[in-house]
A and B are shown apart, each in its own frame.
Chain A
Amino acid sequence: MHNRKLIKMSLLSRVLSKQHLVLSNRCRPELFAAIFSANKSSGSAQKQMDDFWAKNKSVNRPMSPHLTVYKPQLTSMLSITHRATGIALAALTSGFAFSTLLPGTAVAPILAFAESLHSSWLGSGFLLDLKFIVAWPLIFHSINGLRHLMWDRASGLKIAEVYQSGWFVLALSALLAVIFILPWNKINQK
Protein backbone atom coordinates (compact mmCIF):
# COMPACT_ATOMS: atom_id res chain seq x y z
CA MET A 1 0.00 0.00 0.00
CA HIS A 2 2.75 2.37 1.06
CA ASN A 3 4.84 1.37 -1.95
CA ARG A 4 2.04 2.11 -4.35
CA LYS A 5 1.60 5.55 -2.81
CA LEU A 6 5.31 6.27 -3.19
CA ILE A 7 5.23 5.20 -6.82
CA LYS A 8 2.16 7.37 -7.47
CA MET A 9 3.84 10.37 -5.84
CA SER A 10 7.05 9.98 -7.83
CA LEU A 11 5.12 9.57 -11.09
CA LEU A 12 3.02 12.61 -10.31
CA SER A 13 6.01 14.77 -9.52
CA ARG A 14 7.75 13.62 -12.71
CA VAL A 15 4.68 14.45 -14.82
CA LEU A 16 4.35 17.84 -13.17
CA SER A 17 8.00 18.69 -13.69
CA LYS A 18 7.72 17.72 -17.38
CA GLN A 19 4.70 19.99 -17.79
CA HIS A 20 6.62 22.74 -16.06
CA LEU A 21 9.43 22.39 -18.59
CA VAL A 22 6.96 22.57 -21.49
CA LEU A 23 5.33 25.65 -19.99
CA SER A 24 8.64 27.42 -19.47
CA ASN A 25 9.54 26.78 -23.11
CA ARG A 26 6.37 28.41 -24.44
CA CYS A 27 5.55 31.18 -21.95
CA ARG A 28 9.02 32.30 -20.90
CA PRO A 29 11.10 31.71 -24.01
CA GLU A 30 13.85 34.05 -22.86
CA LEU A 31 14.24 32.06 -19.63
CA PHE A 32 14.26 28.79 -21.51
CA ALA A 33 16.82 30.18 -23.94
CA ALA A 34 19.01 31.46 -21.16
CA ILE A 35 19.03 28.08 -19.47
CA PHE A 36 19.37 25.95 -22.57
CA SER A 37 21.12 28.45 -24.90
CA ALA A 38 18.59 27.68 -27.63
CA ASN A 39 18.71 31.15 -29.20
CA LYS A 40 22.47 31.36 -29.04
CA SER A 41 22.68 28.49 -31.54
CA SER A 42 24.36 30.61 -34.22
CA GLY A 43 27.22 31.37 -31.82
CA SER A 44 27.81 27.78 -30.86
CA ALA A 45 27.10 26.49 -34.37
CA GLN A 46 29.92 28.77 -35.50
CA LYS A 47 32.12 27.34 -32.79
CA GLN A 48 31.30 23.82 -34.00
CA MET A 49 32.37 24.84 -37.49
CA ASP A 50 35.61 26.43 -36.24
CA ASP A 51 36.40 23.32 -34.20
CA PHE A 52 35.76 21.19 -37.29
CA TRP A 53 38.31 23.10 -39.38
CA ALA A 54 40.82 23.28 -36.56
CA LYS A 55 40.64 19.53 -35.92
CA ASN A 56 40.76 18.42 -39.54
CA LYS A 57 43.64 20.70 -40.41
CA SER A 58 45.70 19.40 -37.52
CA VAL A 59 45.08 15.68 -38.21
CA ASN A 60 46.42 14.22 -41.45
CA ARG A 61 43.04 13.10 -42.77
CA PRO A 62 42.82 12.84 -46.55
CA MET A 63 40.12 14.61 -48.58
CA SER A 64 37.80 12.17 -50.33
CA PRO A 65 38.15 12.31 -54.14
CA HIS A 66 35.72 14.53 -56.04
CA LEU A 67 36.47 15.62 -59.61
CA THR A 68 38.30 12.39 -60.33
CA VAL A 69 35.43 10.15 -59.23
CA TYR A 70 32.16 12.02 -59.74
CA LYS A 71 30.28 10.90 -62.84
CA PRO A 72 30.05 13.60 -65.52
CA GLN A 73 26.34 14.40 -65.95
CA LEU A 74 24.45 16.75 -68.23
CA THR A 75 23.77 19.05 -65.26
CA SER A 76 27.40 19.58 -64.31
CA MET A 77 28.83 19.38 -67.85
CA LEU A 78 26.54 22.05 -69.28
CA SER A 79 27.19 24.21 -66.23
CA ILE A 80 30.97 24.08 -66.61
CA THR A 81 30.65 24.61 -70.38
CA HIS A 82 28.59 27.72 -69.70
CA ARG A 83 31.32 28.97 -67.39
CA ALA A 84 34.15 28.09 -69.81
CA THR A 85 32.45 29.68 -72.83
CA GLY A 86 31.74 32.74 -70.69
CA ILE A 87 35.41 33.11 -69.80
CA ALA A 88 36.47 32.54 -73.41
CA LEU A 89 33.98 35.12 -74.71
CA ALA A 90 35.02 37.66 -72.07
CA ALA A 91 38.68 37.14 -72.93
CA LEU A 92 38.01 37.38 -76.67
CA THR A 93 35.83 40.48 -76.39
CA SER A 94 38.08 42.43 -74.08
CA GLY A 95 41.13 41.21 -75.99
CA PHE A 96 39.65 42.47 -79.23
CA ALA A 97 38.60 45.75 -77.62
CA PHE A 98 42.08 46.19 -76.17
CA SER A 99 43.69 45.45 -79.53
CA THR A 100 41.97 48.50 -81.06
CA LEU A 101 44.02 50.65 -78.70
CA LEU A 102 47.21 49.26 -80.13
CA PRO A 103 48.66 51.10 -83.12
CA GLY A 104 48.52 49.46 -86.51
CA THR A 105 45.74 46.96 -85.82
CA ALA A 106 43.36 46.81 -88.77
CA VAL A 107 40.62 44.51 -89.96
CA ALA A 108 41.98 44.10 -93.51
CA PRO A 109 44.94 41.81 -92.65
CA ILE A 110 42.58 39.48 -90.76
CA LEU A 111 40.25 39.23 -93.75
CA ALA A 112 43.22 38.64 -96.07
CA PHE A 113 44.41 35.86 -93.79
CA ALA A 114 40.95 34.27 -93.87
CA GLU A 115 40.89 34.46 -97.67
CA SER A 116 44.32 32.86 -97.89
CA LEU A 117 43.10 30.03 -95.68
CA HIS A 118 40.17 29.53 -98.03
CA SER A 119 42.41 28.94 -101.02
CA SER A 120 45.13 27.07 -99.16
CA TRP A 121 45.62 23.30 -99.09
CA LEU A 122 43.52 23.13 -95.91
CA GLY A 123 40.44 24.00 -97.91
CA SER A 124 37.36 25.93 -97.03
CA GLY A 125 36.22 23.25 -94.63
CA PHE A 126 38.98 24.19 -92.22
CA LEU A 127 37.83 27.79 -92.26
CA LEU A 128 34.31 26.67 -91.48
CA ASP A 129 35.62 24.63 -88.55
CA LEU A 130 37.48 27.67 -87.23
CA LYS A 131 34.40 29.78 -87.59
CA PHE A 132 32.39 27.12 -85.78
CA ILE A 133 34.89 27.17 -82.91
CA VAL A 134 34.34 30.91 -82.53
CA ALA A 135 30.60 30.94 -83.21
CA TRP A 136 29.41 28.01 -81.14
CA PRO A 137 30.60 29.29 -77.71
CA LEU A 138 28.81 32.59 -78.30
CA ILE A 139 25.57 30.95 -79.41
CA PHE A 140 25.66 28.27 -76.70
CA HIS A 141 26.38 30.79 -73.94
CA SER A 142 23.54 33.02 -75.13
CA ILE A 143 20.93 30.25 -75.32
CA ASN A 144 22.04 28.64 -72.06
CA GLY A 145 21.92 32.13 -70.59
CA LEU A 146 18.21 32.21 -71.44
CA ARG A 147 17.89 28.86 -69.69
CA HIS A 148 19.53 30.36 -66.62
CA LEU A 149 17.14 33.30 -66.72
CA MET A 150 14.26 30.83 -66.82
CA TRP A 151 15.74 29.09 -63.76
CA ASP A 152 16.01 32.43 -61.95
CA ARG A 153 12.22 32.57 -62.14
CA ALA A 154 12.20 29.09 -60.52
CA SER A 155 10.75 27.65 -63.72
CA GLY A 156 11.82 24.40 -65.37
CA LEU A 157 13.76 23.10 -62.37
CA LYS A 158 12.27 19.62 -62.17
CA ILE A 159 15.06 17.25 -63.10
CA ALA A 160 13.24 15.94 -66.20
CA GLU A 161 12.77 19.54 -67.38
CA VAL A 162 16.44 20.32 -66.68
CA TYR A 163 17.52 17.43 -68.89
CA GLN A 164 15.01 18.25 -71.64
CA SER A 165 16.03 21.91 -71.77
CA GLY A 166 19.69 20.89 -71.59
CA TRP A 167 19.53 18.66 -74.67
CA PHE A 168 17.43 21.28 -76.43
CA VAL A 169 20.01 23.99 -75.78
CA LEU A 170 22.81 21.76 -77.08
CA ALA A 171 20.92 20.84 -80.25
CA LEU A 172 19.72 24.38 -80.93
CA SER A 173 23.14 25.93 -80.39
CA ALA A 174 24.82 23.43 -82.72
CA LEU A 175 22.15 24.01 -85.37
CA LEU A 176 22.28 27.79 -85.12
CA ALA A 177 26.09 27.81 -85.13
CA VAL A 178 26.13 25.80 -88.37
CA ILE A 179 23.54 28.11 -89.92
CA PHE A 180 25.45 31.24 -88.91
CA ILE A 181 28.83 30.15 -90.28
CA LEU A 182 27.64 28.96 -93.67
CA PRO A 183 28.89 31.23 -96.51
CA TRP A 184 25.43 32.60 -97.38
CA ASN A 185 26.78 35.17 -99.86
CA LYS A 186 28.35 32.41 -101.94
CA ILE A 187 25.28 30.17 -101.60
CA ASN A 188 22.93 32.97 -102.68
CA GLN A 189 25.14 33.74 -105.65
CA LYS A 190 24.48 30.30 -106.98
Chain B
Amino acid sequence: MASGFGISRTVLRKSGQRLNFGSIGKQCDHSLQVVRCSANAAAPNTGREPRLKTFSVYRWNPEGKSLPVMQKYEVDLDDCGPMVLDALIKIKNEQDPTLAFRRSCREGICGSCAMNIGGINTLACLSRIDPNPKKSTRIYPLPHMYVVKDLVPDMNNFYAQYRSIEPFLKQKDSTKLGVENYQSVEDRQKLDGLYECILCACCSTSCPSYWWSSDKYLGPAVLMQAYRWIIDSRDEYTSERLDKLNDPFSLYKCHTIMNCTKTCPKGLNPGLAIAELKKMLASHNSYKTPIAASQ
Protein backbone atom coordinates (compact mmCIF):
# COMPACT_ATOMS: atom_id res chain seq x y z
CA MET B 1 0.00 0.00 0.00
CA ALA B 2 2.50 2.58 1.10
CA SER B 3 5.32 1.87 -1.34
CA GLY B 4 3.12 1.53 -4.40
CA PHE B 5 1.34 4.74 -3.57
CA GLY B 6 4.65 6.45 -2.83
CA ILE B 7 6.11 5.49 -6.18
CA SER B 8 3.13 6.74 -8.13
CA ARG B 9 3.14 9.97 -6.20
CA THR B 10 6.81 10.62 -6.92
CA VAL B 11 6.19 9.98 -10.61
CA LEU B 12 3.27 12.40 -10.65
CA ARG B 13 5.30 15.03 -8.85
CA LYS B 14 8.00 14.96 -11.50
CA SER B 15 5.56 15.35 -14.36
CA GLY B 16 3.52 18.22 -12.99
CA GLN B 17 2.45 19.93 -9.84
CA ARG B 18 -1.15 20.76 -10.70
CA LEU B 19 -2.82 17.73 -9.18
CA ASN B 20 -5.51 18.03 -6.56
CA PHE B 21 -4.52 16.15 -3.46
CA GLY B 22 -7.56 17.49 -1.68
CA SER B 23 -8.83 14.14 -0.52
CA ILE B 24 -5.44 13.18 0.85
CA GLY B 25 -3.96 14.99 3.82
CA LYS B 26 -5.61 16.28 6.94
CA GLN B 27 -8.83 18.20 6.86
CA CYS B 28 -8.41 21.40 8.82
CA ASP B 29 -10.72 22.24 11.66
CA HIS B 30 -12.16 25.73 11.19
CA SER B 31 -13.52 25.96 14.71
CA LEU B 32 -10.07 26.62 16.16
CA GLN B 33 -8.68 30.10 16.33
CA VAL B 34 -5.30 29.05 14.90
CA VAL B 35 -5.05 25.77 13.04
CA ARG B 36 -2.08 23.86 11.79
CA CYS B 37 -2.14 21.87 8.57
CA SER B 38 1.08 20.02 7.86
CA ALA B 39 2.41 18.91 4.53
CA ASN B 40 3.42 15.52 5.90
CA ALA B 41 0.98 13.60 3.76
CA ALA B 42 2.54 15.01 0.59
CA ALA B 43 6.20 14.94 1.72
CA PRO B 44 8.56 13.08 -0.62
CA ASN B 45 10.06 9.85 0.64
CA THR B 46 13.62 10.65 -0.35
CA GLY B 47 14.85 10.93 3.27
CA ARG B 48 15.65 14.62 2.83
CA GLU B 49 14.61 16.97 5.61
CA PRO B 50 11.79 19.25 4.43
CA ARG B 51 12.61 22.94 4.77
CA LEU B 52 9.31 24.02 6.31
CA LYS B 53 7.99 27.58 6.29
CA THR B 54 4.79 28.62 8.03
CA PHE B 55 2.22 30.74 6.23
CA SER B 56 -0.44 32.38 8.35
CA VAL B 57 -3.38 33.14 6.05
CA TYR B 58 -6.58 35.13 6.63
CA ARG B 59 -9.63 32.93 6.18
CA TRP B 60 -13.32 33.76 6.12
CA ASN B 61 -16.18 31.70 4.78
CA PRO B 62 -19.30 33.57 3.63
CA GLU B 63 -21.31 30.39 4.24
CA GLY B 64 -21.58 29.81 7.97
CA LYS B 65 -21.65 32.29 10.80
CA SER B 66 -17.99 32.21 11.82
CA LEU B 67 -15.74 35.23 12.20
CA PRO B 68 -12.52 35.58 10.19
CA VAL B 69 -9.63 33.44 11.48
CA MET B 70 -5.94 33.05 10.75
CA GLN B 71 -5.03 29.60 9.49
CA LYS B 72 -1.45 28.34 9.51
CA TYR B 73 -0.05 26.16 6.74
CA GLU B 74 3.42 24.61 6.52
CA VAL B 75 5.08 24.37 3.14
CA ASP B 76 8.32 22.63 2.16
CA LEU B 77 10.28 25.40 0.46
CA ASP B 78 12.51 22.88 -1.32
CA ASP B 79 9.43 21.62 -3.11
CA CYS B 80 7.93 24.99 -3.96
CA GLY B 81 8.56 27.90 -6.31
CA PRO B 82 10.18 31.06 -4.93
CA MET B 83 7.15 33.35 -4.85
CA VAL B 84 4.30 33.61 -2.37
CA LEU B 85 1.83 32.77 -5.13
CA ASP B 86 3.66 29.47 -5.71
CA ALA B 87 3.19 28.66 -2.03
CA LEU B 88 -0.51 29.61 -2.12
CA ILE B 89 -1.12 27.43 -5.17
CA LYS B 90 0.78 24.57 -3.52
CA ILE B 91 -1.34 24.94 -0.39
CA LYS B 92 -4.51 24.92 -2.46
CA ASN B 93 -3.40 21.90 -4.47
CA GLU B 94 -2.06 19.75 -1.68
CA GLN B 95 -3.51 20.85 1.64
CA ASP B 96 -6.65 22.94 1.47
CA PRO B 97 -8.60 23.31 -1.77
CA THR B 98 -11.08 25.65 -0.09
CA LEU B 99 -8.51 28.48 0.10
CA ALA B 100 -9.76 31.23 -2.22
CA PHE B 101 -7.56 33.83 -3.93
CA ARG B 102 -7.37 35.59 -7.29
CA ARG B 103 -4.53 34.86 -9.69
CA SER B 104 -3.89 34.75 -13.43
CA CYS B 105 -0.65 35.66 -15.18
CA ARG B 106 1.84 34.70 -12.43
CA GLU B 107 4.26 37.29 -13.82
CA GLY B 108 3.20 40.61 -12.31
CA ILE B 109 1.27 42.08 -15.22
CA CYS B 110 -2.40 41.27 -14.64
CA GLY B 111 -2.77 42.57 -11.09
CA SER B 112 -5.10 39.79 -9.92
CA CYS B 113 -3.03 38.46 -6.99
CA ALA B 114 -2.73 41.79 -5.14
CA MET B 115 -2.80 41.14 -1.40
CA ASN B 116 -1.20 42.21 1.88
CA ILE B 117 1.93 40.10 2.45
CA GLY B 118 4.14 40.73 5.46
CA GLY B 119 2.25 43.94 6.19
CA ILE B 120 2.64 45.57 2.78
CA ASN B 121 0.52 45.40 -0.35
CA THR B 122 2.16 43.63 -3.27
CA LEU B 123 1.49 41.10 -6.00
CA ALA B 124 1.88 37.57 -4.62
CA CYS B 125 3.51 36.43 -7.86
CA LEU B 126 6.30 38.98 -7.45
CA SER B 127 6.76 38.66 -3.69
CA ARG B 128 9.66 36.37 -2.81
CA ILE B 129 9.13 34.05 0.17
CA ASP B 130 11.36 34.98 3.11
CA PRO B 131 13.18 31.67 3.68
CA ASN B 132 13.71 32.28 7.42
CA PRO B 133 11.96 29.30 9.04
CA LYS B 134 11.56 31.04 12.39
CA LYS B 135 9.21 33.70 11.03
CA SER B 136 5.81 32.98 9.61
CA THR B 137 4.64 34.90 6.53
CA ARG B 138 1.37 36.67 7.23
CA ILE B 139 -1.03 36.98 4.31
CA TYR B 140 -4.10 39.19 4.43
CA PRO B 141 -6.47 40.53 1.78
CA LEU B 142 -6.07 44.13 0.59
CA PRO B 143 -6.75 46.37 3.64
CA HIS B 144 -10.10 47.99 4.37
CA MET B 145 -12.03 46.20 1.64
CA TYR B 146 -15.18 44.13 1.99
CA VAL B 147 -14.14 40.47 1.90
CA VAL B 148 -15.98 38.13 -0.50
CA LYS B 149 -14.10 35.06 0.72
CA ASP B 150 -10.63 34.43 2.22
CA LEU B 151 -8.21 36.64 0.27
CA VAL B 152 -10.76 37.88 -2.31
CA PRO B 153 -11.93 41.50 -1.81
CA ASP B 154 -14.90 43.23 -3.46
CA MET B 155 -13.27 45.43 -6.10
CA ASN B 156 -16.44 46.90 -7.60
CA ASN B 157 -16.15 50.30 -5.92
CA PHE B 158 -12.59 50.60 -7.20
CA TYR B 159 -13.70 49.75 -10.75
CA ALA B 160 -16.66 52.16 -10.58
CA GLN B 161 -14.34 54.96 -9.46
CA TYR B 162 -12.03 54.18 -12.41
CA ARG B 163 -14.99 54.30 -14.76
CA SER B 164 -16.11 57.64 -13.33
CA ILE B 165 -12.98 59.46 -14.58
CA GLU B 166 -13.75 58.37 -18.19
CA PRO B 167 -10.43 56.68 -18.95
CA PHE B 168 -10.59 57.01 -22.74
CA LEU B 169 -9.62 59.53 -25.38
CA LYS B 170 -12.23 62.23 -25.89
CA GLN B 171 -12.12 64.72 -28.73
CA LYS B 172 -14.37 67.56 -29.74
CA ASP B 173 -13.17 68.36 -33.24
CA SER B 174 -14.90 65.93 -35.61
CA THR B 175 -13.04 67.32 -38.64
CA LYS B 176 -9.99 65.33 -37.52
CA LEU B 177 -11.59 62.10 -38.66
CA GLY B 178 -9.56 59.73 -40.73
CA VAL B 179 -6.35 61.51 -39.67
CA GLU B 180 -4.03 59.95 -37.14
CA ASN B 181 -3.65 61.65 -33.79
CA TYR B 182 -0.11 62.89 -34.10
CA GLN B 183 1.79 63.07 -30.88
CA SER B 184 5.32 64.31 -30.48
CA VAL B 185 8.00 62.24 -28.77
CA GLU B 186 8.05 64.70 -25.86
CA ASP B 187 4.28 64.45 -25.39
CA ARG B 188 4.46 60.66 -25.51
CA GLN B 189 7.20 60.67 -22.89
CA LYS B 190 4.86 62.43 -20.49
CA LEU B 191 2.79 59.24 -20.39
CA ASP B 192 5.74 57.10 -19.27
CA GLY B 193 5.28 55.97 -15.70
CA LEU B 194 1.52 56.44 -15.98
CA TYR B 195 0.26 54.06 -18.64
CA GLU B 196 1.99 51.06 -17.08
CA CYS B 197 -0.51 50.93 -14.20
CA ILE B 198 -2.13 47.50 -14.01
CA LEU B 199 -4.94 48.64 -11.67
CA CYS B 200 -4.03 46.10 -9.01
CA ALA B 201 -5.27 48.51 -6.27
CA CYS B 202 -2.21 47.95 -4.06
CA CYS B 203 -1.65 51.71 -3.78
CA SER B 204 -5.24 52.77 -3.11
CA THR B 205 -5.68 50.14 -0.42
CA SER B 206 -2.42 51.18 1.24
CA CYS B 207 -3.65 54.75 1.68
CA PRO B 208 -5.14 55.49 5.14
CA SER B 209 -7.08 58.36 3.60
CA TYR B 210 -8.69 55.92 1.16
CA TRP B 211 -9.45 53.57 4.08
CA TRP B 212 -11.48 56.26 5.82
CA SER B 213 -13.09 57.85 2.73
CA SER B 214 -13.26 55.23 -0.04
CA ASP B 215 -16.80 56.36 -0.89
CA LYS B 216 -15.78 59.88 -1.92
CA TYR B 217 -12.00 59.93 -2.27
CA LEU B 218 -10.90 58.41 -5.59
CA GLY B 219 -7.59 56.97 -4.37
CA PRO B 220 -4.11 57.10 -5.91
CA ALA B 221 -4.65 54.50 -8.67
CA VAL B 222 -7.69 56.25 -10.15
CA LEU B 223 -6.19 59.72 -9.67
CA MET B 224 -3.01 58.70 -11.49
CA GLN B 225 -5.14 57.50 -14.40
CA ALA B 226 -7.13 60.75 -14.32
CA TYR B 227 -3.77 62.55 -14.61
CA ARG B 228 -2.74 60.20 -17.45
CA TRP B 229 -5.74 61.31 -19.52
CA ILE B 230 -5.45 64.97 -18.53
CA ILE B 231 -1.85 65.28 -19.76
CA ASP B 232 -2.43 63.21 -22.90
CA SER B 233 -1.87 65.75 -25.68
CA ARG B 234 -4.43 64.00 -27.89
CA ASP B 235 -7.28 64.46 -25.38
CA GLU B 236 -9.36 67.64 -25.74
CA TYR B 237 -11.51 67.48 -22.62
CA THR B 238 -8.76 68.61 -20.21
CA SER B 239 -10.79 71.41 -18.66
CA GLU B 240 -13.81 69.18 -18.03
CA ARG B 241 -11.62 66.45 -16.55
CA LEU B 242 -10.07 68.96 -14.15
CA ASP B 243 -13.50 70.35 -13.24
CA LYS B 244 -14.59 66.88 -12.23
CA LEU B 245 -11.93 66.84 -9.48
CA ASN B 246 -12.95 70.23 -8.09
CA ASP B 247 -14.55 69.18 -4.80
CA PRO B 248 -13.19 68.66 -1.26
CA PHE B 249 -12.99 64.86 -1.48
CA SER B 250 -12.24 63.42 -4.94
CA LEU B 251 -8.67 64.70 -5.12
CA TYR B 252 -8.07 66.79 -2.01
CA LYS B 253 -8.45 64.00 0.51
CA CYS B 254 -4.86 63.13 -0.46
CA HIS B 255 -2.65 64.32 2.40
CA THR B 256 0.65 63.22 0.81
CA ILE B 257 1.07 60.27 3.12
CA MET B 258 3.04 58.56 0.28
CA ASN B 259 2.22 54.97 1.24
CA CYS B 260 1.09 54.55 -2.37
CA THR B 261 4.43 55.11 -4.07
CA LYS B 262 6.17 53.05 -1.40
CA THR B 263 3.98 50.03 -2.07
CA CYS B 264 3.51 50.08 -5.85
CA PRO B 265 4.69 46.66 -7.13
CA LYS B 266 5.36 48.13 -10.59
CA GLY B 267 7.56 50.96 -9.26
CA LEU B 268 5.18 53.74 -10.35
CA ASN B 269 4.64 57.02 -8.53
CA PRO B 270 0.98 57.92 -7.93
CA GLY B 271 1.93 60.43 -5.22
CA LEU B 272 3.84 62.53 -7.73
CA ALA B 273 0.97 62.36 -10.25
CA ILE B 274 -1.45 63.59 -7.59
CA ALA B 275 0.88 66.48 -6.66
CA GLU B 276 1.03 67.51 -10.33
CA LEU B 277 -2.78 67.24 -10.48
CA LYS B 278 -3.11 69.59 -7.50
CA LYS B 279 -0.81 72.11 -9.19
CA MET B 280 -2.80 71.90 -12.42
CA LEU B 281 -6.05 72.37 -10.56
CA ALA B 282 -4.66 75.41 -8.73
CA SER B 283 -3.78 77.14 -12.00
CA HIS B 284 -7.01 75.89 -13.57
CA ASN B 285 -9.03 77.54 -10.84
CA SER B 286 -6.98 80.72 -11.04
CA TYR B 287 -6.99 81.23 -14.76
CA LYS B 288 -9.85 78.99 -15.83
CA THR B 289 -7.67 77.69 -18.65
CA PRO B 290 -5.72 74.47 -18.25
CA ILE B 291 -1.97 74.92 -17.96
CA ALA B 292 0.09 71.89 -18.93
CA ALA B 293 2.12 70.17 -16.21
CA SER B 294 5.52 71.82 -15.76
CA GLN B 295 8.17 69.12 -16.23
- Chain A residues in contact with chain B, CB under 8 A? 26-27, 29, 41-42, 44-46, 48-49, 51-53, 56, 59, 61-67, 69-71, 73, 75-76, 79-80, 83, 148, 151-154, 157-159, 162
Contact = CB atoms under 8 A, between A and B. Distances in A.
B258 A75 contact: yes
Interface in B87-120: 116, 118-120
A45 B278 contact: no
Contacts of B244: 42
Interface string B199-231: 000000010100100010000000000000000
A69 B147 contact: no
A162 B261 contact: yes
B: contact size bracket = 35 or more
Given A48-B160, A152-B278, 11 more contacts: A42-B244, A48-B156, A61-B146, A61-B148, A62-B146, A64-B145, A66-B211, A76-B208, A148-B256, A153-B275, A153-B279
Contacts of A69: 116, 119, 138, 140, 143
Nearest to B160: A48
A80 B207 CA distance: 12
Contacts of B166: 41-42
B140 A53 contact: no
B54 interface: no
Contacts, number: 130
A52 B120 contact: no
Nearest to B209: A79
Contacts of B146: 56, 61-64
B143 A42 contact: no
Interface stretch (B4-12, B25-33, B60-68, B184-192): B60-68
Nearest to B262: A75
Contacts of A162: 258, 261-262, 271
B59 to A, nearest CB: 11
A62 B177 contact: no
B262 A66 contact: no
Given A56-B154, A162-B258, A65 B275 contact: no
B283 interface: no
Given A45-B163, A70-B206, A71-B120, A26 B174 contact: yes
Given A52-B156, A53-B215, A70-B143, A152 B258 contact: no
Given A26-B174, A49-B160, A64 B261 contact: no
